[in-house]
């Protein structure tokens, strides 16, 4: 039996106060295996830095991907104690990273969505800088606050390359935060950058700003429209297997949108082992005076179009692969890059 009228029928228009959502999936199944032993410690660094650095027009979604009891207790406390964390999804099975992300991405209305791994440290001004990049480049669908000087090698950069060749200016510039590159390769346990990579990176510019070509997806901010180009079927891989490429990077590129990074480094990938410097950095974040900036409005996201994307694919293949050495020398990079 139903008695009376549902009052929500009289107020049936959704209103969203925030415009930026951060989505973080968490998979820490135990704290006993060597790989996961420091998982909760790293997780606390992640959320402590996030809550300190986000502006008031932000909401946070956490997806608990079958984590252990200790982690669940911590996530529940975060949810109860912080109003900005308005969503905590619990799954008793590991849905996989992409499916967990999409559970939140597809069910929210904010026009800007940041996805991040649970082992990220957010640095002051990361949010301001990624939003400013989107303001400077209305064609930008994906931007990371963690630049990489080898991101130009990425597969899904065709739209970005077209823009750089025909609408913006492309050149090598001095790396602003070489320590960020060093920290990242230390966190993944392998050498990624040579001497030249630590000194120069490829930058695209226009009259409003400049940004590094390409980016990774362990910490990246998207325009929500990007995900309209994503596959509709469920991702069959828990991690890797091309899942992040197909569901994050590829939709942005085939949609005709740019994939960029900020000039300076505004985030650290911590890995799975806690180190002393991480506490020091968090103390620095907590004691620093952070001025939170928000934007009044976003420009309409502009696609360069499918035809130009195809042209970009040809340019990318020729100048960034087949003739890379000659082209980069023309751009001023004399030695190996």
Q: What is the pLDDT of residues 11-51, one digit of tens each?
A: 556 567 899 999 999 999 999 999 999 999 999 999 999 99
pLDDT of residue 238: 52
Q: Helix, strand, coil shares of the chain as percentages rounded to 5?
A: 40, 20, 40
Closest CA to 113 of 332, 301, 330, 309: 301
Residue numbers of the chain with a pLDDT score lower than 50: none
* Structural domain contains residue 8: no
* Structural domain contains residue 11: no
What pLDDT digit, counting tens, does each position of 143-179 carry?
999 999 999 998 899 999 999 999 999 999 999 999 9
Q: Are 61 and 20 in contact (CB under 8 A)?
A: no
Closest CA to 64 of 34, 102, 32, 24: 24
pTM for this predicted structure? 0.93
* Structural domain contains residue 55: yes
pLDDT of residue 230: 76
Q: Which domain holds residue 55?
A: 17-330
State how far the Cα of 246 lies from the Cα of 88, in Å rounded to an integer: 26
Q: What's the number of domains the chain is made of?
A: 1
Q: CATH number of the domain that 95 lies in? A: 3.90.550.10
* Structural domain contains residue 287: yes
Query: Tokens for 261?
Result: 């990074």
Mention every residue, 6+ apart, whose C-beta is less than 8 A from residue 201: 147, 148, 149, 172, 173, 175, 212, 213
């Amino acid at each position: 039996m139903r008695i009376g009228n549902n009052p929500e029928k009289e107020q049936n228009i959704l209103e969203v106060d925030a415009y930026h959502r951060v989505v973080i999936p968490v998979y820490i199944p135990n704290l006993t295996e060597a790989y996961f032993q420091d998982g909760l410690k790293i997780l606390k660094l992640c959320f402590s830095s996030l809550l300190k650095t986000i502006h008031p027009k932000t909401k946070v979604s956490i997806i608990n991907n079958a984590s252990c009891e200790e982690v669940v207790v911590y996530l529940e406390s975060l949810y109860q104690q912080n109003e900005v964390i308005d969503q905590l999804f619990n799954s008793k099975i590991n849905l996989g990273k992409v499916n967990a992300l999409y559970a939140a991405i597809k069910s929210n209305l904010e026009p800007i969505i940041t996805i991040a791994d649970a082992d990220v440290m957010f640095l002051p001004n990361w949010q301001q800088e990624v939003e400013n990049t989107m303001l400077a480049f209305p064609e930008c669908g994906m931007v990371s606050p963690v630049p990489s000087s080898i991101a130009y090698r990425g597969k899904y950069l065709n739209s970005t390359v077209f823009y750089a060749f025909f609408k913006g200016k492309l050149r090598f510039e001095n790396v602003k935060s070489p320590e960020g590159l060093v920290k990242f390769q230390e966190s993944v346990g392998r050498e990624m950058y040579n001497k030249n990579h630590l000194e120069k990176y490829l930058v695209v510019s226009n009259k409003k700003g400049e940004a590094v070509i390409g980016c990774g997806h362990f910490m990246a901010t998207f325009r929500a429209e990007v995900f309209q180009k994503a596959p509709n079927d469920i991702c069959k891989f828990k991690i890797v297997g091309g899942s992040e490429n197909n569901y994050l990077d590829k939709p942005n590129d085939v949609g005709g949108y740019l994939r960029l990074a900020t000039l300076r480094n505004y985030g650290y990938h911590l890995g799975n082992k806690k180190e002393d410097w991480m506490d020091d950095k968090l103390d620095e974040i907590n004691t620093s005076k952070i001025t939170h900036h928000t934007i009044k409005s976003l420009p309409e996201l502009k696609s360069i179009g499918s035809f130009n994307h195809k042209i970009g694919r040809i340019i990318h293949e020729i100048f960034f692969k087949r003739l890379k050495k000659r082209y980069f020398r023309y751009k001023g990079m004399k030695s190996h890059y």
